[in-house]
A and B are shown apart, each in its own frame.
Chain A
Amino acid sequence: MTVRVGVVVFPGSNCDRDTTHALALAGAEPVELWHEAADLQGVAGVILPGGFAYGDYLRAGVIARFSPVMRSVAAFAADGGLVLGICNGFQVLAEAGLVPGALLRNRGLRFLGRDVRIAVEEGDTPFTHLAGPRRPLRMPIAHGEGCYFADPATLDEVEAEGRVLFRYVREDGSVAGETDDPANPNGSLRAIAGVRNAAGNVAGLMPHPERAAEELLGSDDGFGLIRSFVESAAAGVHAGGDRSLEVASR
């Protein structure tokens, strides 16, 4: 049976089609979930795609957080469902308190659209287990607010619990610095490019794996992450609904 994976479409989402395309390549049946509908249509996993949900007014992701679909996504996540936020989707998850931290304005103040290199820090997660041995992975970023921030205590906790999934790295694979290092273009604290919640079933990252999902796009380094998600969602479906995980809070 083909696993059905939801892709939320907010007004202003612009990577939803790229995401459904990448999901189909990975063997999933993508299901578009309109922001005003609370029904998740029985999908086995949800991806919040990139873009500028609700125009990024007020703060990136905050208006989207209160949409009908996000209330359902929060309930789905609380029940152990797999949720991945990419770029703007990560911002929405952070605003909703479903993953720790916040995404601040890039240190250089500019919107950045270019390739970055990231390393998978935790290879044994539902989001990364099929990422493969490549290090670093090359994929694009396209954001104005991607500077990862959390207070020092939260950062320490997230690190200690193995919840930093991705870090910005240099071409040689070494971890980028926080300031004045072009390998960490937005100035994220501890070069964090992606994190997950305490329960482990909700993750977000700023770079775009779906835009690096096939050679035709210049890199297929992101495809392993898409495949990881699809396979994990499929496994969750077969495992039934007996996953009890604690609810993440801000």
Chain B
Amino acid sequence: MSIEFRFAVNVLPKPGILDPQGRAVEGSLAHLSIEGVTAVRVGRRVELTVSAPDEAAAREIVDRLARELLSNPLIEAYVVERLQATSSTTSAEAGAP
């Protein structure tokens, strides 16, 4: 029997890798009169559902997917996050104004 597990994979440029998007965000802070914000890194978040017999097996699948497809190990690092809700977008929408 398999269970459905919901995960998020957060992919970010590795430290030291030029992140022009992060720089552009930093550059716009002055227009918003926001001070004290530094080290902005812009990445990508991928949410997905995996059917597997247990969480360890599900994580193995997500890990391979993250390593081989969702990130480029030369330039990006990733972190896998287990989500409790069926979809975090649903809960986020519920909390939106």
**Footprint of B on A, CB under 8 Å?**
58-59, 62, 66, 95, 101-102, 104-109, 147, 149-151, 187, 250
Q: Is the CB of A104 within 8 A of B69?
A: no
Given A105-B21, A108-B20, A149-B18, does the pair A62, B74 have CB atoms closer than 8 Å?
no
Q: Is the CB of B24 within 8 A of A102?
A: no
Once the chains are docked, how many angstroms separate the CA of A107 from the CA of B24? 10
**Footprint of A on B, CB under 8 Å?**
17-18, 20-21, 24, 44, 69-70, 72-75
* Chain B residues near A109 (CB-CB < 8 A): 20-21, 24
* Chain B residues near A101 (CB-CB < 8 A): 74
Task: Tell me the smallest distance from the CB of A43 to a CB of chain B, in Å.
Answer: 28
Q: Tell me how many residue pairs across A and B have CB atoms closer than 8 Å.
A: 35
Q: Is the CB of A107 within 8 A of B72?
A: no
Once the chains are docked, how many angstroms separate the CA of A62 from the CA of B73? 12
Task: Tell me the smallest distance from the CB of A59 to a CB of chain B, in Å.
Answer: 6
Given A107-B20, A187-B18, does the pair A62, B69 have CB atoms closer than 8 Å?
yes
Measured CB to CB, the nearest residue on chain B to A62 is B69
Q: Is the CB of B69 within 8 A of A149?
A: no
* Chain B residues near A102 (CB-CB < 8 A): 72, 74-75
Once the chains are docked, how many angstroms separate the CA of A22 from the CA of B24? 39
Question: Max chain B CB contacts within 10 Å: which of A59, A101, A250?
Answer: A59
Once the chains are docked, how many angstroms separate the CA of A147 from the CA of B20? 11
Q: What would 24 A/B residue contacts be, using CB atoms closer than 8 Å?
A: A58-B44, A58-B69, A58-B70, A59-B72, A62-B69, A66-B69, A95-B72, A102-B72, A102-B75, A104-B17, A104-B18, A104-B75, A107-B20, A108-B20, A109-B20, A109-B21, A109-B24, A147-B18, A149-B17, A149-B18, A149-B74, A149-B75, A250-B73, A250-B74
Measured CB to CB, the nearest residue on chain B to A63 is B69
